[in-house]
Amino acid sequence: MVYEGKTKIVRIVGDHALIEFKDDITAGDGLKHDVILNKGSICAEITAILMNFLSEKGIKTHLVEFLPPNILKTVPLKMFPLEVVVRLKKAGSFVKRYGGVEGEELPFPLVEFFIKDDERHDPMVCFDHLEILGISTKKQAEEMKEISIKATLVLKEFFEKGDFELWDIKYEFGLSKDGQIILGDEISPDTFRLRKKGEIFDKDVYRRNLGDPMKKYEEVLELCRSLSSQ
Ligand code: TMP
Ligand code: ASP
């Protein structure tokens, strides 16, 4: 069984799902698209380091093993078609929707749920929508929210050791065979906003045409390698 998305290919092999990270980078629900050498291997390794760190802190992830250069061996999950965004600072679609200034601190971690549906531009939903649409129960949504906040605070602290600020981050979850909610997908500069003294170290470099995104992604990889070995 094979599933191919915009940036990954998933193959079920025996008891595992092998997730291959492609060199593709997209924005605007796939409208902007490029292929950048080594992007897949960089995002795969960053994901592996951060998911290892999260599991050390008691947060269950799908990661079993990093198979260099660009494959993660994972526990197969039945994915919820959801993006769970946690925001610590205002940016991106928050500012577009509600106003305010990029980088302004939020009083507490804000959690937003979006349905993965490019054609409808990933509509934002509340727990009632999730239950009515049969996507998840309210109890499952509560659990995803709780895990997302916990993971974000762990990662915020991780990056703070390198003087980097985590502004926001997106998670995806699935159910394992035994019915547990597990953090899946990836955690990389594609899926978080990371800043240091106003400098951008995430996909906003690409979204806003601010130069070569891979220079920044490589720096994030080096940072993750050095912080995880401390
Ligand atoms: P947003 O401000 O565009 O809603 O993005 C919030 C965070 O979620 C940001 O770190 C980027 C990440 N994200 C994804 O990983 N995938 C997506 O499709 C979108 C829209 C955002
Ligand atoms: N819309 C998403 C982003 O900008 C990803 C994509 O469209 O492929 O992060």
* Ligand that comes closest to the CA of residue 187: 1
pLDDT digits (tens, 9 = 90+) for 58-71: 999 999 999 999 99
For a ligand 2 pocket test, name from 22, 29, 43, 191 the mutation site with the most ligand atoms within 8 angstroms of its C-beta. Answer: 29
207: CA distance to ligand 2 center in Å? 8
Task: Name every protein residue with a CB atom under 6 angstroms from any ligand 1 atom.
Answer: 83, 85, 91-94, 122, 168-170, 190-193
Nearest to 115 by CA among 96, 130, 98: 130
Largest CA distance in the chain: 49
Contacts of range 201-210, beta carbons closer than 8 Å, 24 or more positions apart: 201/164, 203/25, 203/27, 204/92, 206/25, 206/27, 206/32, 206/34, 207/27, 207/28, 207/32
203: CA distance to ligand 2 center in Å? 9
Rounded CA-CA distance 229/40 in Å is 22
8 A C-beta contact, residue 149 and residue 142: no
Amino acid at 43: C
Residue 2 has a pLDDT of: 87
Give residue 30's pLDDT band: very low, low, confident or very high (50, 70, 90): confident
Q: Residue 94: phi, psi to the nearest 5?
A: -60, -50
The pTM assigned to this predicted structure is: 0.97
Give residue 29's pLDDT band: very low, low, confident or very high (50, 70, 90): confident
15: CA distance to ligand 1 center in Å? 31
The arrangement of secondary structure in 78-212, i.e. its CATH architecture, is: 2-Layer Sandwich (3.30)
Whole-number average pLDDT of the chain: 97
Residue 230 has a pLDDT of: 86
Domains of the chain, by residue range, sit at 3-74, 78-212
Point out the ligand 2 atom lying closest to the alpha carbon of residue 6: 8
Q: Is CATH 3.30.200.20 the classification given to domain 3-74?
A: yes
pLDDT digits (tens, 9 = 90+) for 95-150: 999 999 999 999 999 999 999 998 999 999 999 999 999 999 999 999 999 999 99
Residue 1 has a pLDDT of: 75
